[in-house]
């Protein structure tokens, strides 16, 4: 008898047999791979993944022997022998089902996987051939459509998807065995309300809205039109609706209708900023009424399962939320673009486990224009592959639609882009005319004195600039004026939320409110100013800034101005990448100055921007070519994971002891065994500091590690609280520190 897993102190009759484990994993992996027509591939991977346990050394290890045994490579070896043409596809994921997907080659011709296959392995017992029944042959997944221009990209994508099926099935079968042995019952996973139930709840919520104004009637027309297209075949869609058109709930309604019409499993919202993830998740929970908590799963760095939606949860529901986050087994997922796209190029088992649940789903990309330019081509290729071969409908949802369509017009085509894009909104150009709320104009160059005058000229004005130093300087010039506020990422998130709450209240009460902010306020923040000043930037950023002006439509467009300006002071110049966006904006404004944020202007802007960047800058690490050059035996999985980073974070987090919640969480670290929950509590109390500023703070003792013997420098706390100002946030640029002695009291 051969065994897969043992128990502590129990007889072998309690152990899991190897045949049982392999057959169960094979069935579960096949079920997952069936989502994209690759059931037999999943079955083969599951049956072969632990084949190396059919050896005497591994069985001795289960009995307590300390010897190390490679139990993965044998299955990879058999896969190549059994399936000569395609076995290498299985070999990657079988060999890597614990450590992750390895590079096929390291640099030159050395092939790490081949070296593993050539290594001496314990002799397999022939029992596996009688206990397991492998598929006789592996054909291409059903309805798989190859693309000549990215054939090996498709192989790599398929391997990663099959890897997801295998590691998730393996993990859950092992979890089930130990849960039943130790507690007599399985852990709660997945489930949740059916999509039909959620649609009914959403319909009841939408029925409460009254069409009692022109804007509300238009929102109702938009919603009706979008939902009428839910039976369209799955594929690639755009949803181009101006700010205020109600696209958040309209997109959810379409996604549920579309998923139900085509037998899809879930809806996945991909959102660029954590703050909008939290905001939209709260909107969805409210719209889905009593089913919201069970249906909507947030997955991002700042989410705390213990206190989601502000209420304390019992330990069973917390554990289930955490388990569902591992593989996205929920009806509605709301996540960040970083989590979504980096997972699509990941190699580690923990990051890949969720991928099979993206297949056969509706993916809504909110603010689709925010995909980072250096990774745009591989990101678009991944979206296209999901739609082409993984039964996924992809919806680019934004007011400023990026020009990502590939077509036969060389002047307007994005090479390698999304073909056959279908627009869901009714006549977007007419929508923009009907929802026009602001007047946008360029007012030339303004120095700081002129900007100060502009801020003081109105009772309620928002000024958005391109860097923190400029925002700080400009705020200090008006700080003594009524209703002066400052917003910056030098403030921790909790602090910013408090300031935004005050700003909204003053706007509502018609009190003076003059706000100087960096671009963070453009990230879906719900504020409504009669006038907005915006430093030159990308045209999509300017359109986002315009969304903070007359947001509620209570004033005429003539009364609601967005004034674009150039900065006179070279010290406030944007970084080079933002300067490129501003330059493209200036060129577009020469042709579209009368209506700078029209659809025609936005389309011209993105076409120009992508042309200026060129293909190389839209795939800065040359990832697509790297994959194609690797061939099947040399796919660069580890390299892709290392280089596909949507945020090149060279900054360090400093924890601000801003309030009692933060101070209590810091104290908890002193006796914490696991820090995941505490780390999530502290995340909204952190400020990201550039390396140079971090080193300066550390050098003079203004920050210090919390419990360094346990955590090293993982948790760095601000000790000198004088450096954190209630209006300006953390100052690390040229800090004046207290003496070392005063830091000790």
For the chain, domains (ranges, CATH) are: 3-183 (1.10.3210), 195-432 (3.40.50.300), 438-598 (3.40.50.300), 651-744 (no CATH)
Q: Say which residue, 183 or 58, is predicted with more confidence.
A: 58
Please report the sign of the dihedral spanned by the C-alpha atoms of residue 478, residue 483, residue 487, residue 492.
positive
Integer CA distances (angstroms), 745 to 278, 291, 719, 740, 742, in order: 39, 52, 11, 10, 6
In the predicted model, is pLDDT for residue 315 greater than 60? no
Say which range, 399-413, 583-597, 692-706, has the weakest mean pLDDT.
399-413
Report residue 569's pLDDT band, with 50, 70 and 90 as the boundaries: confident
Rg (CA), the chain: 28
State the pLDDT at residue 542: 94
Range scoring the smallest mean pLDDT among 37-41, 242-246, 677-681, 682-686: 677-681
Q: Check residues 95 and 732 and name the one with the higher pLDDT.
A: 95
Point out the least confidently predicted range of 202-216, 464-478, 486-500. 202-216
pLDDT reported for residue 743: 28
Task: Give percent helix, percent strand, percent coil of the chain, each to the nearest 5.
Answer: 50, 15, 35
- Cα 83-85-87 angle, rounded to 5 deg: 45
Confidence of residue 306 (pLDDT cuts 50, 70, 90): very low
Question: Lowest-pLDDT range, 117-121, 310-314, 566-570, 621-625?
Answer: 310-314
Checking if the pLDDT of 409 tops 50, the result is yes
What is the DSSP code (8-state) at residue 418?
A: B
The rounded distance, in Å, linking the Cα atoms of 534 and 545 is 7
> Can you give the pTM of this predicted structure?
0.89
The confidence score (pLDDT) of residue 523 equals 74
486 C-beta neighbours (distance < 10 Å), count: 24
What is the pLDDT, as a whole number, of residue 574? 79
- Residue 291: the pLDDT is 93
Between vectors from CA 443 to CA 438 and to CA 448, what angle results, nearest 5°? 115
What are residue 703's phi and psi, to 5 degrees? -130, 155
572-590 average pLDDT score:
88
Res. 320: pLDDT tops 70: no
pLDDT of residue 742: 28
Query: What distance in Å separates the CA atoms of residue 294 and residue 276, rounded to the nearest whole number?
Result: 20
Please report, rounded to a whole number, the percentage of residues in the chain having pLDDT higher than 70.
93
Residue 649: is its pLDDT beyond 70?
Answer: no
* Average pLDDT across the chain, whole number: 89
pLDDT at position 290? 93
Which of 547, 582, 563, 536 lies closest to 440, judged by CA? 563
Q: Is the pLDDT of residue 309 over 50?
A: no
The C-alpha atoms of residue 359 and residue 352 are separated, in whole angstroms, by 13
The predicted pLDDT at position 188 comes to 65
Residue with the larger pLDDT of the pair 122 and 736: 122
155-177 pLDDT per residue, tens = 999 999 999 999 999 999 999 99
DSSP string, 69-107: ---SHHHHHHHHHHSTTTHHHHHHHHHTTTT-PPBS-SS
Q: Which residues contact 487 (CB under 8 A, 6 or more apart)?
A: 471, 496, 499, 500, 515, 516, 517, 518, 520, 521
Query: pLDDT-derived band of residue 324, with 50, 70 and 90 as boundaries?
Result: low
Q: Region 316-337: what's the mean pLDDT?
A: 77
Q: Residues 41-53: pLDDT tens digits? A: 999 999 999 999 9
Per-residue model confidence (pLDDT) at position 552: 81
pLDDT for res 108:
59
CA pair distance 387, 417, nearest whole angstrom: 12
Q: What is the pLDDT of residues 98-109, one digit of tens each?
A: 989 998 876 556
d(CA 85, CA 6): 36
Task: Looking at mean pLDDT, say which of 472-486, 571-585, 603-617 comes out highest.
Answer: 472-486
Q: Which of 92-106, 348-362, 577-591 has the highest mean pLDDT?
A: 348-362
How confident is residue 505, by pLDDT bands cut at 50, 70 and 90?
Answer: very high
Residue 343 pLDDT grade (very low, low, confident, very high; cuts 50, 70, 90): very high
Both tokens of 94, joined, read 């079988």
pLDDT of res. 648: 66
Name which of 657, 651, 661, 652 is nearest 722 in CA terms.
Answer: 657
pLDDT in the model for residue 13: 87
Confidence of residue 576 (pLDDT cuts 50, 70, 90): confident
- pLDDT value of position 301: 54
* 104-137 per-position pLDDT tens digit: 876 556 667 777 788 889 999 999 999 999 999 9
């Amino acid at each position: 008898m051969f065994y897969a897993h043992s128990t502590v102190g129990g007889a072998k009759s309690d152990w899991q047999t190897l045949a049982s484990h392999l057959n169960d994993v094979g069935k579960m992996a096949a079920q997952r791979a069936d989502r994209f027509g690759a059931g037999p591939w999943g079955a083969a991977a599951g049956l072969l993944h632990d084949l190396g346990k059919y050896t005497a050394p591994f069985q001795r290890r289960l009995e307590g022997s300390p010897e190390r045994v490679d139990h993965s490579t044998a299955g990879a070896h058999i896969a190549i022998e059994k399936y000569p043409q395609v076995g290498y596809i299985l070999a990657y994921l079988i060999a890597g089902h614990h450590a992750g997907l390895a590079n096929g080659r390291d640099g030159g011709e050395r092939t790490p996987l081949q070296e593993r296959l050539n290594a001496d392995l314990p002799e397999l017992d022939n029992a596996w051939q009688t206990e397991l029944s492998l598929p006789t042959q592996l054909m291409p997944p059903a309805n798989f459509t190859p693309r000549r221009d990215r054939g090996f990209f498709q192989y790599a994508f398929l391997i990663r998807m099959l890897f997801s099926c295998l590691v998730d099935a393996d993990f859950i079968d092992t979890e089930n065995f130990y849960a039943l042995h130790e507690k007599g019952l399985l852990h709660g996973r997945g489930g949740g309300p059916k999509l039909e139930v959620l649609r009914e709840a959403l319909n009841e919520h939408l029925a409460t809205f009254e069409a009692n104004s022109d804007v509300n009637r238009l929102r109702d027309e938009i919603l009706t039109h979008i939902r009428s297209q839910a039976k369209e075949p799955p594929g690639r869609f755009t949803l181009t609706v101006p700010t205020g058109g109600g696209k958040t709930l309209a997109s959810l309604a379409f996604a549920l209708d579309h998923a139900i019409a085509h037998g899809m499993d879930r809806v996945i919202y991909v959102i660029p900023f954590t703050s909008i993830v939290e905001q939209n998740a709260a909107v969805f929970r409210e719209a889905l009424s009593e089913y919201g908590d069970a249906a909507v799963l947030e997955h991002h760095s700042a989410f705390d399962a213990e206190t989601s939606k502000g209420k304390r949860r019992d330990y069973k529901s917390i554990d289930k939320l955490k388990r569902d986050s591992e593989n996205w087994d929920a009806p509605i997922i709301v996540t960040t673009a970083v989590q979504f796209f980096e997972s699509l190029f990941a190699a580690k088992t923990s990051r890949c486990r969720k991928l099979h649940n993206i297949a056969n789903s509706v993916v809504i990309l909110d603010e689709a224009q925010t995909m980072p330019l250096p990774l745009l081509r591989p990101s678009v290729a991944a979206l296209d592959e999901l739609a082409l071969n993984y039964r996924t409908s992809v919806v680019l949802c934004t007011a400023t639609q990026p020009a990502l369509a590939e077509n036969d017009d060389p002047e307007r085509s994005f090479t390698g882009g999304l073909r056959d894009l279908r627009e869901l909104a009714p006549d977007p150009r007419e929508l923009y005319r009907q929802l026009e709320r602001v007047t946008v104009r360029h007012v030339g160059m303004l120095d700081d004195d002129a900007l100060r005058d502009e801020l003081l000229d109105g009772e309620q004005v928002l000024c958005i600039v391109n860097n923190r130093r400029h925002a700080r300087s400009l705020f200090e010039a008006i700080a003594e004026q009524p209703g002066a506020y400052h917003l910056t990422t030098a403030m921790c998130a909790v602090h910013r939320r408090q300031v935004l709450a005050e700003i909204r209240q003053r706007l509502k009460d018609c009190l003076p409110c003059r706000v100087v902010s960096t671009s963070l306020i453009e990230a879906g923040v719900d504020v409504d100013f009669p006038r907005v000043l915006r430093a030159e930037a990308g045209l999509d950023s300017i359109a986002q800034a315009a969304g903070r002006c007359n947001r509620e439509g209570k004033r005429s467009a003539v009364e609601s101005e967005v004034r674009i300006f150039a900065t006179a002071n070279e010290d406030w110049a944007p970084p080079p990448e933002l300067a490129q966006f501003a330059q493209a904006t200036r060129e577009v404004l020469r042709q579209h100055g009368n209506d700078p944020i029209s659809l025609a202007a936005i389309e011209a802007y993105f076409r120009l921007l992508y042309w200026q960047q060129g293909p190389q800058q839209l795939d800065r690490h040359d990832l697509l070519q790297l994959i194609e050059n690797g061939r099947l035996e040399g796919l660069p999985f580890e390299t892709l994971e290392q280089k596909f980073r949507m945020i090149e974070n060279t900054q360090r987090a400093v924890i601000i002891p801003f309030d009692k919640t933060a101070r209590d969480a810091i104290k908890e670290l002193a006796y914490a065994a696991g820090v995941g929950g505490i780390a999530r509590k502290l995340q909204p109390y952190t400020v990201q500091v550039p390396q140079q500023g971090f080193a300066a703070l550390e050098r003079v003792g203004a920050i210090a590690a919390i419990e360094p013997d346990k955590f090293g420098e993982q948790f760095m706390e601000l000790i000198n609280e004088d450096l954190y100002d209630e209006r300006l946030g953390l100052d690390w640029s040229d800090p004046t520190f207290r003496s070392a002695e005063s830091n000790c009291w």
